[in-house]
Amino acid sequence: MQFFQKFIAVAMLLSCTFANAGKPKEIFWEDLIPQGHVQIDTQAQANHEGSEQNWVQPDLDAPVVKELNGQSVSLPGFVVPLEGDSEVITEFLLVPYFGACIHVPPPPPNQIVHVTIEGGVPIESLYDAIVVTGVISTETWSGEIAQVGYKMKAVGVAPFEL
């Protein structure tokens, strides 16, 4: 059953690849940081004792790569589920390392992609890395000040293989 679902996911990925008549560009997390921008290494920030600062503002000022807007890409990462039902996940955050939400400070906003996928995708284990294919966009929304981050409309999800 689960193998079957995996197979469907791969098949979906393949079929859309052919439909676009062009391979989606393979990108990695470094490609989401604009060149020349000195990114604070989040892993180095890891602090298990809790930081001195009591409340860190969600810092969404990290710049995004505007050129990626609208491009069809595939990006590997780990899933932090947001929405879905008992079988599938329809909305999730894609992050560069597992446990991005527990032991270490979360990645900066330009290292998180908010993924939505029509119809959802079954994800067996959150411990497994996946490759998401879809159209990435730089999303702008307004809170107290306008903010920007990555969003992706996924068309396919496949298990990540080295």
- Name the residue among 98, 91, 62 with its Cα closest to residue 77: 98
How many chain residues interact with other proteins (CB under 8 A)?
A: 38
Least distance CB 130 / other proteins (angstroms): 14
Give Cα separations from 120 to 147, 152, 154 (angstroms).
Answer: 27, 13, 9
CA–CA dist 99, 133 (Å, integer): 22
Of the residues 51, 67, 128, 160, which one makes contact with other proteins according to CB under 8 A: 51
Tell me 102's DSSP state: T
Residues in the chain: 162
Of 9-48, binders to other proteins (CB under 8 A) are: none
Least distance CB 63 / other proteins (angstroms): 14
Least distance CB 135 / other proteins (angstroms): 18
Report whether 33 contacts 64 (CB < 8 A): no
Task: Select from 11-19, 29-37, 93-101, 128-136 the region that touches other proteins (CB under 8 A).
Answer: 93-101
Measured over the CA atoms of residue 29, residue 33, residue 36 and residue 41, the dihedral's sign is negative
- Name the residue among 161, 162, 160, 153 with its Cα closest to residue 73: 153
Q: In 42-91, which residue ranges form alpha helices assigned H by DSSP?
A: 42-45
**Pattern of binders to other proteins over 52-91, x per CB under 8 A?**
--xxxxxxx-------------------xxxxxxx--x-x
For residue 16, what are its two tokens?
A: 């859309």
Q: Does 109 bind other proteins (CB under 8 A)?
A: yes
Q: Does 107 bind other proteins (CB under 8 A)?
A: yes
User: Would you say 14 or 40 has its CB closer to other proteins?
Assistant: 40
- Site of interaction with other proteins (CB under 8 A): 50-51, 54-60, 80-86, 89, 91-93, 95, 100-101, 105-107, 109, 112, 114, 125-126, 139, 141-144, 147, 149
